[in-house]
Chain A
C-alpha cells in the first residue's frame, strides 16, 4: 500500500466533491440548519422567559432540544454519508472509470482506502462544522453550553464515518442505490435495537438486554450515538434521572461509552474496510 497513491485518490475524491458541487451544497445546508437552530432556540427561550420559567428549567429544556436536534442531524449525516459513499466505487465500476485507473500501478486496496479517506474528510468536516456551529449558536441565544461539546461532535462524526464505511464496502459489490439504501436501513435498525435495549433495561428483560448488547457490538453506530447524548447532557439531568424508568428514555445516556467500546468501534470500521478490500479484489471487472 503506497501512501502517495492513497493520497492521490483521496485528493481526487475531494476534487470530485468540489466539482460536483457537493461541498457547496453541504456548506449551504450547514448555514441553513444553524440559522434554523438558532432561531428556534431563541424563540423557545424568549417565550419561556416571558412565562417566567426558571433559568435552570430553561437550560434543561434547551439541552433536551439540542439532543433532539443532534438526533435528527445524525440521520441527515448518516444519509449523506451513505449516499456519498455508496457510488464511490460502484459507479466508477459501472461507468468504466476504474478500468483505465486500475491498469496503472494502482492497487484496488489503494483506490478503496483513498476513496474512504477523501469521503471521511468531507463527512467529518461537515459533521464537525455543523455540530460545533449549532452548539455555539445555541450557547449564544440560550446560555446553555453542553458539558462535553467536542466529545459529542467526535462521536457524531465517528457514527457518520461508520455508516460511510458500510456504504463504501457494500458499493464494491452492489449497485450504488442498493448499497446506499441498505446502509441507511442498517443505521436505522441499529438505533431501533438500541431503543429496544433501553426498554429491556426498564422492564428488566435480561435476555433481550443481552441480545441488544451483543447487537451493539456487531453494529456500533447506536453505541456511538450514546456518546453524543452523554456529551450534550448537563449534569443536572444525570442527577434527576435515576432509576430504571429513566433508562427507558432513548435520549438519555447515564454513562459515556466505555473506552473499550470506543476502541472496538475504531477496529470495527477498519474491519469493515478490510472486508471491502477483500470483496473488491475478488470482483470481476
Chain B
C-alpha cells in the first residue's frame, strides 16, 4: 500500500446553504509513493501540485509561453531549468508552434491544452484535473488521454474529476463516486464493477467440461453461455478453447458492467 497523495476525512464544503461536499472520505494513491504530507493550504505543498480548473481563462494579453513562465515563477521552479521545462510541456500538449501567440486568440481546445501544460509544469507530485476533456472533440479527448498517461508514467498522481465516465473508466485505477456530497462507492475499477463474465452464443459445444478451467459455467434463459471470472486477457484463449472443442461461435460479449451502469444504479433515486 503506497501512501496516499490525498486523504480526506469528513471533508465538508458548503456555498451558503448549498452543500457541495458533505463528509467526504477519499484516498488518492500516489504514483511512485510520493508524499505531500501537508494540508493544501500550505504554500510549500501547493508548489508540488498542478491544477487545471474547470472554468478558467488565462490572461488574454499573454502568450502561451508567457503564461507558463508566469506559473513557473509563481511555483518557484528552478530558474535554470525553466525554459527547457516550458518547452517540454508545450511540446507535450502540442502547442510548441503556437507558443508565441496571445492566448486571447486561442480556441477552447487550445485553452484546454494550455491549461494541461500549466498543470503539468514542473512534474508535480499531484495533478488535479477538473473536467479536462469537456468541450473537446474526440481527437482532442484522445490527445488529453495520452497526455494524462504520460503524466502518470512520469510519476505524478492524477486526480481526475469528470462526468464523462467513459474517460474515467479508461484512465483511472481507482474511482470514487460522489453523490450529494458523499462518497457512495469507492475502490479499484475491478472492485467496483465486479469480475468480468464472458457471455457466448455457441452451437455444437460438447458437454465435456472444456470450459471449467476458466471458471464457473452456466446457461441463462436466452440461450447464452456465461463463464464467470474470466480476466479480459484470457478471452481469446477461451474462444480458442471453444473452437478447439468443435463449438460454433455466433457471438462473444466480454462485457462487464460499465461505470455508467453502476453510477446510474447508485445515484438514481429508487422509484417509489
Interface residues of A (CB under 8 A from B): 5, 8, 12, 15-16, 19-20, 95-97, 99-101, 103-107, 284
Contacts and interface: CB of A to CB of B under 8 A. Distances in A.
Contact of B61 (A8, A16, A107, A284): A16
Contact of A105 (B47, B55, B56, B70): B47
Nearest to A9: B74
Contacts of B61: 15-16, 19-20
B53 A105 contact: no
B147 interface: no
A103 B53 contact: yes
B47 to A, nearest CB: 5
Given A20-B61, A97-B57, A8 B70 contact: yes
A284 to B, nearest CB: 6
A105 B46 CA distance: 5
B74 A101 contact: yes
14 contacts: A15-B61, A19-B61, A19-B62, A96-B56, A97-B57, A97-B59, A101-B74, A103-B51, A104-B46, A104-B47, A104-B74, A104-B75, A105-B74, A105-B75
B70 A12 contact: yes
Given A5-B74, A8-B73, A8-B74, A100 B47 contact: no
Contacts of A8: 70, 73-74
A82 to B, nearest CB: 21
B51 A100 contact: yes
B44 A99 contact: no
B115 A100 contact: yes
Contacts of A15: 61-62
**Which of A19, A101, A105, A107: most chain B Cβ within 10 A?**
A105
Contacts of B59: 12, 16, 97
A181 B167 CA distance: 47
A100 B53 contact: yes
B58 interface: yes
Nearest to A105: B43
A101 B74 CA distance: 8
A5 B61 CA distance: 20
Nearest to A17: B61
A156 B97 CA distance: 47
Nearest to B59: A97
Interface in B39-71: 43-44, 46-47, 49, 51, 53, 55-59, 61-62, 70-71
A140 to B, nearest CB: 38
A16 B59 CA distance: 9
B46 to A, nearest CB: 5
Interface string B21-49: 00000000000000000000001101101
Given A19-B62, A96-B55, 13 more contacts: A8-B74, A12-B59, A12-B70, A16-B59, A19-B61, A95-B57, A97-B57, A100-B56, A100-B58, A105-B43, A105-B46, A105-B47, A106-B74
Which 8 A-B pairs have CB atoms at the shortest separation, nearest pair first? A103-B51, A19-B61, A105-B43, A104-B74, A99-B53, A96-B56, A105-B46, A95-B57
Contacts of B49: 103
Contacts of A99: 53, 55-56
Contacts of A104: 46-47, 71, 74-75
B76 interface: yes
B48 to A, nearest CB: 9
Given A103-B49, A105-B47, A96 B57 contact: yes
Nearest to A21: B61
A39 to B, nearest CB: 35
A260 B51 CA distance: 48
Nearest to B42: A105
A132 to B, nearest CB: 30
A103 B44 CA distance: 12
A27 B56 CA distance: 33
B39 to A, nearest CB: 13
Contacts of A105: 43-44, 46-47, 74-76
A271 B41 CA distance: 25
A8 B118 CA distance: 17
A79 to B, nearest CB: 23
A15 B47 CA distance: 24
A97 B56 CA distance: 6
Contacts of B128: 103
Contact of A96 (B44, B53, B62, B74): B53
Contacts of B51: 100, 103
Nearest to B41: A107
A262 to B, nearest CB: 36
Contact of A107 (B15, B43, B44): B43
